[in-house]
Structures are given as structure tokens and as C-alpha cells.
Amino acid sequence: MSINIKVSYEREEELQAITDRLQDLDLTLETAPQTGQWKRAYLKQKPVRRPVNPVKQNT
């Protein structure tokens, strides 16, 4: 499963506050040069592969 988050912000401080709160998720930040009042950024996490049939251990 992968995570894609679209963020709209006006100031760089707003984007920094969001990335600080989500730092535990190991997200990559993608931005492009933009003009106008609202800017966009995309936070993405690579898909995590999990085993289809995990082996159950009897304890």
C-alpha cells in the first residue's frame, strides 16, 4: 500500500509544519516551481510489500 498526500499551502512555514508532523512516515516531498497564492506539494511513500500468506508460529 502506498500513501500519496496533496498539500496546498501559502507559506513555506506551513509546509514545514506539515512535514515535521509526518516525519515518522518516511515520506518524500515533491514540489515544482509555482506562482500564485496557493502552492502545491506532494508527499509520497513508497509501497510497502507485505507477505501474502504469513507463516503462523505456534507458541
Query: What are the pLDDT digits (tens) for 17-44?
Result: 999 998 888 889 999 888 889 999 999 9
Instruction: Name which of 3-7, 14-18, 37-41 the model is least confident about.
Output: 3-7
Is the sign of the CA dihedral 33, 15, 21, 5 positive or negative?
negative
- pLDDT of 33 reads 85
Q: Which of 2, 7, 5 is nearest to 39 (CA)?
A: 7
Helices (H), 3-53: 12-21
Claim: this prediction has a pTM higher than 0.75: no
**What is the 8-class DSSP label of residue 22?**
T
